[in-house]
A and B are shown apart, each in its own frame.
Chain A
Amino acid sequence: MSKRIDVKDLNVYYGNFLAVEDVSINIEAKSVTAFIGPSGCGKSTFLRTLNRMHEVLPGARVEGEVLLDGDNLYGPGVDPVTVRSQIGMVFQRPNPFPTMSIRDNVLAGVKLNNQKISKGEADALVERSLRGANLWNEVKDRLEKPGSGLSGGQQQRLCIARAIAVEPQVILMDEPCSALDPISTLAVEDLINELKDQYTVVIVTHNMQQAARVSDKTAFFNIAGTGKPGKLIEFAETSTIFNNPSQKATEDYVSGRFG
Chain B
Amino acid sequence: MTSTLTPVRKRSALTKGQLPKYAPYVVLGVALVLGAAILALIGFNAFGWGVVSAILFAAGLVGWSAAVEGSRKAKDKLATCLVVGAFLVALLPLISVIWTVMVNGIPGLLNPGFLGTSMNGVTGVFDNRAAEGTGPVVGGIYHALVGTLQITLLATVISVPVGLLTAIYLVEYGNDRPLARAITFFVDVMTGIPSIVAGLFAAAFFFAVVGPGTKTGAVAAVALSVLMIPVVVRSSEEMLKIVPNELREAAYALGVRKWRTILKVVIPTAISGIASGVTLAIARVIGETAPILVTAGFATSINNNVFGGWMASLPTFIYTQILNPTSPSNPDPSSQRAWGAALVLIILVMLLNLGARLIARVFAPKAGR
Q: Are B368 and A145 in contact (CB under 8 A)?
A: yes
Q: Are A146 and B368 in contact (CB under 8 A)?
A: yes
Known: A99-B269, A112-B264, A148-B365. A159 touches B250 (CB 8 A): yes
Interface string of B123-153 (1 = CB under 8 A from A): 0000000000000000000000000000000
Closest to A99 in B: B268
Q: How far is the CB of B301 from chain A (nearest CB, A)?
A: 47
Within 8 A of B (CB), among A7-57: 51, 53, 56
- Which of A84-92, A118-126, A201-209, A229-237 participates in binding chain B? A84-92
Does A82 belong to the interface (CB within 8 Å)? yes
Does A108 belong to the interface (CB within 8 Å)? yes
Residue B175 contacts which of A58, A82, A112, A166 (CB distance < 8 angstroms)?
Answer: A58
Residue B247 contacts which of A53, A86, A97, A163 (CB distance < 8 angstroms)?
Answer: A97
Q: Are B256 and A109 in contact (CB under 8 A)?
A: yes
Closest to B177 in A: A58
Q: How far is the CB of A171 from chain B (nearest CB, A)?
A: 10
Q: Are B254 and A53 in contact (CB under 8 A)?
A: no
Q: Are B369 and A149 in contact (CB under 8 A)?
A: yes
**A110–B369 Cα gap in the complex (Å)?**
25
Interface string of B247-265 (1 = CB under 8 A from A): 1111111111100110011
Does A113 belong to the interface (CB within 8 Å)? yes
Q: Are A108 and B247 in contact (CB under 8 A)?
A: no
**A142–B269 Cα gap in the complex (Å)?**
21
- Return chain A residues, CB-CB under 8 Å to B256: 81, 108-109, 112-113
Interface residues on B, range: 20 to 34
The number of residue pairs between A and B whose CB atoms lie closer than 8 Å in the complex comes to: 88
Within 8 A of B (CB), among A89-111: 89, 91, 93, 95-99, 108-109, 111
Q: Are B254 and A108 in contact (CB under 8 A)?
A: yes
Q: Are B367 and A149 in contact (CB under 8 A)?
A: yes
**A91–B257 Cα gap in the complex (Å)?**
19
- Return chain B residues, CB-CB under 8 Å to A88: 253-254
Residue A108 contacts which of B251, B367, B368 (CB distance < 8 angstroms)?
Answer: B251
Does A114 belong to the interface (CB within 8 Å)? yes
Does B244 belong to the interface (CB within 8 Å)? yes
**A86–B254 Cα gap in the complex (Å)?**
9
Within 8 A of A (CB), among B26-48: none
Q: Are B365 and A146 in contact (CB under 8 A)?
A: yes
- Return chain A residues, CB-CB under 8 Å to B247: 95, 97-98
Closest to B258 in A: A81
Does B366 belong to the interface (CB within 8 Å)? yes
- Return chain A residues, CB-CB under 8 Å to B264: 111-112
Q: Are A163 and B367 in contact (CB under 8 A)?
A: no
Q: Are A95 and B365 in contact (CB under 8 A)?
A: no
Does A162 belong to the interface (CB within 8 Å)? yes
Task: A82-B255, A95-B247, A146-B367 given; name 9 further pairs at CB < 8 Å.
Answer: A53-B252, A81-B256, A84-B254, A88-B253, A112-B261, A113-B255, A113-B260, A150-B369, A163-B254
Some 28 contacts from A to B, beta carbons below 8 A apart, are: A53-B252, A58-B175, A84-B252, A85-B254, A89-B249, A97-B269, A98-B269, A98-B365, A99-B265, A99-B268, A108-B251, A108-B254, A109-B254, A109-B255, A109-B256, A112-B251, A112-B264, A113-B255, A113-B256, A113-B257, A145-B368, A145-B369, A148-B367, A149-B368, A149-B369, A162-B254, A163-B254, A166-B254
